[in-house]
Amino acid sequence: MREDARLFLREALRNPRRISALAPSSPSLARAMAAGLGPRSGPVVEFGPGTGRLTEAILATGLPPARLTLFEMNEEFVRHLRLRFPAVRVIHAPAQEAPRLLAPVAERVVSGLPLLSMPPALREDIVAAAFAVLAPGGTMVQFTYGPSDPLTPGQLERLGLRVDRGPRVWANLPPARVLRLGRLGCVNGMPRYAD
């Protein structure tokens, strides 16, 4: 078993409500979440990197580590991430703190947070924080295990956002769907997926 998988399992057993997943994201899901990024991409922010599976895929696109900022609440994960990715900025804070700590210049926010396991108001706060650090035209990429989107139509309307449902990644435990959220009226950076 990989070291990050052992750490994930230990933390999931210690605090199952906060981890809310059966296993770390699969390489297939991580690649789907990082799709479209590359060496010329602007700053990227990751919410809830956990042990770094999505982080690894983001960096594998060629994105310079100095352009990646991680927000993680779990102290053990923070320690692990700082050792594993020394050139990446790791902030030990919840995602909602991002607007206080970052300027709105990110090209993308990649979220591995289990939004469906959170209260609706907290989900909305997290997504609002993502869009507070995104530059105009920036997108938030989120995955979900459930059949419904993490935000209700009312929440999307309140935030002025739309959701494009991406591919379902079957090679993940459990299977997940990739979602891209963007501002209404913004076409750049929002690819349309065919179901």
158-170 residue pLDDT tens: 999 999 999 899 9
Residue 25 pLDDT greater than 80, yes or no: yes
Q: In the chain, what percentage of residues exceed pLDDT 70?
A: 83
Determine the average pLDDT of the residues in 171-193.
78
Average pLDDT for the chain? 88
Residue 69 domain flag: yes
Q: State the Cα–Cα distance between residues 109 and 77, nearest whole angstrom.
A: 19
Residue 184's CB: how many other CB atoms inside 10 A?
A: 10
Which CATH number do you get for residue 67?
A: 3.40.50.150
Residue 189 domain flag: no
Residue 147 domain flag: yes
Residue 188 domain flag: no
Determine the average pLDDT of the residues in 83-102.
98
Determine the average pLDDT of the residues in 120-137.
97
Give the lowest-confidence range in 9-18, 108-117, 121-130: 9-18
Residue 123 pLDDT greater than 50, yes or no: yes
Give the pLDDT band of residue 7 (cuts 50, 70, 90): low
Residue 104 pLDDT greater than 60, yes or no: yes
Residue 16 pLDDT greater than 70, yes or no: no
CB 36 within 8 A of CB 13: no
Residue 49 domain flag: yes
Q: Which of 20 and 182 is assigned the larger pLDDT?
A: 182
β strands within the chain, DSSP E: 44-47, 68-72, 89-92, 106-111, 134-144, 161-169, 176-183
Residue 26 pLDDT greater than 80, yes or no: yes
Residue 116 domain flag: yes
Q: Which of 175, 183, 35, 47 is nearest to 115 (CA)?
A: 47
Domain containing residue 16: 3-183
User: What token pair was written down for 130?
Assistant: 């993502």
Residue 195 domain flag: no
Residue 85 domain flag: yes
- Count structural domains, the chain: 1
Residue 40 pLDDT greater than 70, yes or no: yes
